[in-house]
Structure 1
Amino acid sequence: MIGRVVEIAADDRHLAVSRGFLTVSTKGEEVGRVPLDDIGVLLAHAHGLTYSNNLMVELAQRGAAVVLCGPNHMPVAWLWPMDGHHVQSLRMRQQLEAGAPLRKRLWQVLVRAKIEQQRAVLERLGKPDGAFDLLSRKVKSGDPDNIEAQAARRYWPLLMGDDFRRDRSAGGANAMLNYGYTVLRAGVARAVTSAGLHPSVGLHHSNRNNPMCLVDDLMEPFRPIVDYIVSRLIAAGKEEVNPETKAVLAQILAFDMATDQGTTPVSTCVERLAFSLAQSYETGKPSLTLPRTLLPLEMPGFEPRSDSG
């Protein structure tokens, strides 16, 4: 199931559960409700929110990701279900025991896929491709030459213009990127825990202050999808995070991609990647399931229905 991304953006709301629904209330009056079974990600952005414990339990039992965000649209905390998979302890042990050669080869696959998707973004938008095919082929096991960073230095000016700088604390395009990455990160976190893996034990990312190192590893090949959507929004004159742009970016996990199994939503692509990683830990072979280098088949409209409470 894809699951809806539900954002609570209005201040002073109370979230609770009633007969299988998430209810949103203000001053004791219900202003909205969503079936719990439909929720894949709950994004909490607003000030003064309160929650019932029963709601958090119900969402955790369904494997929904609950993400608490700061004012820059970056996640600061999230709810992780304790029982993500029936063989969770075995898979986590295999994950912890994976040797450096395997982890490096897996990271090589992810970096190559990310660079190939960046090339696809530029190609889809009719921009110079920056010889990204050559860069992708140069990526070695573990990416010791940091080809990923070399690609980024070429990619952002080609995509956003020479004056653009990626800055997580800035507004405008950067804020929209933050928001889109937050939606994507929540979906990947849900897939990682569903596969029985520990989100903190990464392949490449290893910051001890980052509880989602593996999540950040696995979302790398999908980041260009967010870049693509933000670029299209900017081209349409949408230059800030607002209800209109958030409604588009919240659909990222539902966009269709081309895979060897046919047209598949991003959320399912992410799940297949997480489960293939778990199998790679088990077999000791770096065999990851990734979508083709074709970005979303259709760009959504700019006035979709919003799930904001």
Structure 2
Amino acid sequence: MSGWRTVLVTKPCRLSMKNQQLVYEPKDEESINVPLEDITVIVLENSQSNMTTALLSQIAEKNIALFSCDSYHMPNGCFTPFHQHSRLSQIAHIQVKMKLPLKKRIWQNIITRKISNQSQLLKQFDINNLKLELLKDKVLSGDSENLEAQAARKYWGLLFKDFRRDQKALDPINIALNYGYAIVRGAVARSLVSYGLLPTFGVFHRSELNAYNLADDMIEPLRPMVDMVVKKLALEDELDVCLNISIKSALINVLNMEMILEEESVSVLHVCDVMAQSFVKSMKLKDTSYLKLPLLT
């Protein structure tokens, strides 16, 4: 994917395609054309938006991330195009039969990298990260000592003043984090499905009521990218319980931000694809050394 634009649709409109361009036609306003090759993400926030099937097909062909939103304007769905996998069924069967020791080793790697990225983020904001540095190399198989939770308590207390991370809380920071995480979670789920994986079956998360257990596993090293954007917005005093367009755009743009993967700077969207692909390889070969997880720049 070579695009770089994010499109946030907030008004009633018609969305179609002409000459390989997205045609945005809002009511009572002039239409706008955007080349499809420039677009990486489209978020449909307005419930009165209509999209042609021709455009939807091209969104799948060009691997553009397409999100829908609920009545509160929070992302609640992500369109998942198919990659042409000749062994999709085989991948699903291997995933379902994964042994617990392999799952535990994968989770160990994921949490180690998550804590490492949290520590690096604190360092970027000139916050003492020693407490997390001491934890990141002590994660055991399956994170049996729950260092993820220990790190989280220290991390949130250092990153934001007088803050408690609570998904149901209605303060500006928690609302912004929820929005950003929902966008990244959708992108992760989309990549997992496109590489033949079943997002329902996780390596750590295993709720029967959650259709995206594996996505909730794989998102962990990516969360600090959202945290970074929210921290910057908080420092600039731009956060509000009613997320405005500029805040949402900044959070959606997380998918275009870069992380380090195998000593190269690549977008978070590309990271999602590589993580999914490498997860399949690790699963097939029963070897976690093939799992590729990103670092904060």
**Structure 1 and Structure 2 fold alike (TM over 0.5):** yes
Q: Which has the higher contact order (CA 8 A, sep 6+)?
A: 1
Is 2:43–2:66's contact at 8 Å kept on the other side of the alignment? yes
Is 1:276–1:289's contact at 8 Å kept on the other side of the alignment? yes
**Equivalence for 1:173:** 173
> 2:78 is matched by which residue type in structure 1?
W
For residues 24 and 207 of structure 1, the distance between their equivalents in structure 2, rounded to whole angstroms, comes to 40
**Equivalence for 2:223:** 223
RMSD: 2.4
Q: Does 1:89 align with 2:92?
A: no
Q: Does 1:125 align with 2:125?
A: yes
**Equivalence for 1:300:** none
For residues 185 and 155 of structure 1, the distance between their equivalents in structure 2, rounded to whole angstroms, comes to 21
String of CA shifts for 1:64-111, please: whole Å, max 9, x gaps: 332212255543222222445343222222222211111111011001
Fraction of identical pairs, as percent = 33
**Equivalence for 2:292:** 289
Is 2:76–2:182's contact at 8 Å kept on the other side of the alignment? no
Larger helix proportion of the pair:
2
- 1:251 positional shift: 2.2
> 2:131 is matched by which residue type in structure 1?
A
* Structure 2: runs of 5+ lacking an equivalent: none
Change (3 A) 1:165 1:187: closer
**Equivalence for 2:103:** 103
TM-score normalized by the length of structure 2 = 0.88
* Structure 1: runs of 5+ lacking an equivalent: 297-309
For residues 278 and 52 of structure 2, the distance between their equivalents in structure 1, rounded to whole angstroms, comes to 36
Change (3 A) 1:22 1:171: farther
TM-score normalized by the length of structure 1 = 0.85
> 1:77 is matched by which residue type in structure 2?
G
Is 2:121–2:228's contact at 8 Å kept on the other side of the alignment? yes
- 1:114 positional shift: 0.5
**Equivalence for 2:75:** 75
- 1:120 positional shift: 0.9
**Equivalence for 1:252:** 254
- 1:2 positional shift: 4.6
Is 1:110–1:221's contact at 8 Å kept on the other side of the alignment? yes
Is 2:255–2:269's contact at 8 Å kept on the other side of the alignment? yes
**Equivalence for 1:264:** 266
Point out the more displaced range, 69-78 or 96-105. Answer: 69-78
